Amino acid sequence: MTEPGPVRTTTPRPARQVRPRTEGWTQRVDAEGKPLLQFAAPKKGMPPTHLADLTPAQRVEKVKELGLPGFRAKQLEKHYFQHYTADPAHMTDLPASGRGELVTGLLPHLLTEVRRLQTDRGDTIKFLWKLHDGALVESVLMRYPGRITLCVSSQAGCGMNCPFCATGQAGLTRNMSAGEIIDQVVRANAAIRAGELGPAEHPDERVTNIVFMGMGEPLANYNRVIQAVKTMVDKDHGLGMSARGVTVSTVGLVPAINKLADENIPVTFALSLHAPDDLLRDEMIPINSRWKVDEALDAAHRYFEKTGRRVSIEYALIKDMNDHAWRADLLAQKLNARGHGWVHVNPIPLNPTPGSVWTASEKDVQREFVRRLNEAGIPTTLRDTRGKEIDGACGQLVATEEDRAVAASVPVD
């Protein structure tokens, strides 16, 4: 391995420094005038208990409570996790007597599709889902060469209140259940099997990669997200995915990052940093008022040390706000100070949101930012802005007034 090259010494320049502020909406603040952070979800009715909300042992007990032998739980798992169906008519291996009650009891309907948008190439689909209580969430399905990625939501809305993210504008409605998270994957797999994402590369094609980068802050819904992850990677009683194909992201909830490191599930961990200096990140990412840049990076490095899994740093490049060359150098310095080979940086040009005057960095600025990090020995790859034309890219997921109007006319199944 070659040694990292020297990091250029640069001086922060006040010129062309745009300060973060909301555009087209008013940021909610607390009694002290600071951006309001919502950690606890509003007390609202959660959906009925679903197979994916339960451990394998609890599923067996639930089946027995319904008056059937425990092995029927395994049959239900196969139908749902392998055949992607919750339709009793397709479960002919189950006895006709009591089949409907069994399916209703363990596979209640969770997501009603309100609408979908698809790119012209047909390789990206954005789903708008209506939950049992009328809350709206979105997920985005993307085909890449050799893999299919699903961006899932973990909360209805988000309580982190970041001014440049469309999802955070509406605040937090409620946490999603593990079942609601998993059902996004199962419904996506059903769409793939039906040919709705274009011609399949092989007969058993399905979602291979999960990114928790849809609506919500995943680590603010920790227990349900972990239950969903465990179901995703369970080869005997779940979806049987590779843990390395599951990415859990956060804006920097340090205690939860440390807890995730101790789970012994080698998922990919992504820290949405967006600024290497506290002065700017305090304004961009309100959670930075609780845990500063260095604390978040220390927790991310601990995750690498505990799991051996390289950490991803997500960085939205915003013109004249956080894309300065000196910030690339400062980021490199902070990452290299914690060691080498433990991290990968994913800059992504900002995806514009309705009402915002902010925009992505210029192409030459993007290239220079990436070049400086790579020159300093930090592996850096400019990320694809897939789904931008259907408002399905990072930071764009939000239920619009049009979405709500359409959803109002769609009954929950």
**pLDDT value at residue 401:** 64
1 or 338, which is more confident? 338
**Whole-number Cα distances in Å, 401 to 40, 141, 354, 407:** 26, 23, 12, 10
Res 339 pLDDT > 50: yes
Contact of 181 with 225, CB cutoff 8 Å: yes
**What mean pLDDT is predicted for residues 47-69?**
96
**Tokens found for residue 93:** 């291996």
Provide the whole-model pTM.
Answer: 0.91
Q: Which of 2-6, 147-151, 216-220, 296-300 has the lowest mean pLDDT?
A: 2-6
Nearest-Å Rg of the Cα atoms of the chain is 22
Whether 413 has a pLDDT exceeding 80, the answer reads no
50 within 8 A of 224, measured Cβ to Cβ: no
User: In b/e form, how buried is each residue of 253-276, taking b as 16+ CB within 10 angstroms?
Assistant: bbebbeebbeeebebbbbbbbbbb
Cβ atoms of 154 and 172 closer than 8 Å? no
Average pLDDT over residues 333-347: 98
SS3 assignment, position 254:
helix
Query: Residue 88: what are its φ and ψ, rounded to 5°?
Result: -55, -30
More confident residue, 9 or 65: 65
Place of tokens 């609890």: 58
Q: Which of 151, 158, 165, 394 is catalytic?
A: 394
Q: How far apart are the first and last CA of the chain?
A: 56
User: What are the beta bridge partners of residue 249?
Assistant: 270
Tokens of 236: 């005997």
Chain mean pLDDT for the chain: 90
pLDDT for 44 beyond 70: yes
| Tens digit of each residue's pLDDT (9 = 90 or more) over 239-259 | 999 999 999 999 999 999 999
DSSP at 360: B
The SS3 assignment for 334 reads helix
Q: Tokens 């993210």 belong to which residue? A: 165
Contacts 24+ apart (CB under 8 A), 51-57: 51/76, 51/77, 51/80, 51/106, 51/107, 51/179, 52/80, 52/178, 52/179, 52/181, 52/182, 52/183, 52/227, 52/228, 52/231, 52/238, 53/177, 53/178, 53/179, 53/227, 56/234, 56/236, 56/237
pLDDT of residue 3: 54
Q: Residue 342 has what DSSP assignment?
A: S
Q: What confidence tier does 353 reach under pLDDT thresholds 50, 70, 90?
A: low
Percent of the chain beyond pLDDT 90?
A: 74
Distance of CA 82 to the CA centre of its chain: 23
Catalytic residue of the set 3, 32, 138, 263 = 138
pLDDT at position 199 is 86
pLDDT higher than threshold 60 for residue 195: yes
Backbone phi, then psi, for 130, in 5-degree steps?
-105, 125
Q: Identify the H or E element spanning 129.
A: strand 124-130
pLDDT > 70? residue 219 = yes
Q: Which of 223-227, 294-298, 334-338, 404-408 comes out lowest in average pLDDT?
A: 404-408
Specify the residue for token string 């745009």: 18
d(CA 300, CA 307): 11
Q: Is 138 a catalytic residue?
A: yes
Q: Is 151 a catalytic residue?
A: no
| Segment 386-410, tens digit of pLDDT | 644 545 444 444 566 676 667 677 7
